[in-house]
Amino acid sequence: MRRTDRLAALAQILRDGRLHLARELSAALGVSQRTVYRDMDTLVASGLPIAGARGVGYRMTAPVTLPPLNLSLGELEALQVGLAIVAEAAEPELQGAAQSLAQKVDAALPEDGAEPPDGWGFATYPFADAAHGFVHMPPLRDAIRARQKLRIGYNDPDDHHSLRVIRPLKLDYWGRVWTATAWCENANDFRLFRADRISTLEVLPELFVDEPGKTLADYAKTTG
């Protein structure tokens, strides 16, 4: 069972308002009690009204839920742009609501098969930082579809600036931060580029085709 489905199943079980022990939940879902503890922490952090603790049990006190929603990447991006605007410019009460809503969205997102780098995770990055990357999302997506090379100006975590020519292969979402998996022609290797760290982006006229060692399948082998 995917984590997003497991979280939904946990929330559904707790909606009856009764007290549920972790061992009962783990048996019902076929996972360890440690996994249940982690999932309960995630649900509580997402804002669900859950009371209880490890060794005592858990129950939902006042459930208010929406039916499951299937969002496209574009819809998710639009939601994050709206939250970013409200969180940066609105009155304090709405800013807090935007932060809380973002945490709930982050907690409900499906997990990727690969673990993100250390220090990355849901609800980690401030909205102002994430908003810097939104402007680059449309050309990144278009370049992936058209298999078109890009020249980007990039600031690494140490604020070192460089110009790179890349072959964008995939976009991933890591809790308000989007990353582009790409073949970097400067490094002659695969690299992950955070969209919010891209300072300039130029679409080059040159297209690229699959070459041995430079495809998304080849990248998957390096992370598997």
Question: At 206, is the pLDDT very low, low, confident or very high (cuts 50, 70, 90)?
Answer: very high
Q: What confidence score (pLDDT) does residue 114 get?
A: 41
Q: Please give the Cα distance from 112 to 133 (Å, whole number).
A: 21
User: What's the CA gap between 222 and 186, in Å, rounded?
Assistant: 19
What is the CA 206 to chain-centroid distance, rounded? 30
Predicted confidence band at 224 (pLDDT cuts at 50, 70, 90)?
Answer: low
Distance CA 186, CA 151 (A): 11
Domain 3-60 fold is Arc Repressor Mutant, subunit A (1.10.10)
Over residues 74-125, the pLDDT tens digits come to 777 678 777 776 766 657 777 778 777 877 776 666 544 344 333 333 344 5
Kindly report, residue by residue over 115-158, the tens digit of the pLDDT: 433 333 334 455 556 666 777 888 998 999 999 999 999 998 78
CA 34: distance to chain centroid? 23
Q: What is the pLDDT of residue 10?
A: 86
Fold for the domain defined by 130-223: SH3 type barrels. (2.30.30)
List the domain boundaries for the chain.
Answer: 3-60, 130-223
Same fold, 3-60 and 130-223: no
How many Cα atoms within 13 Å fall on the side-chain side of residue 2?
A: 9
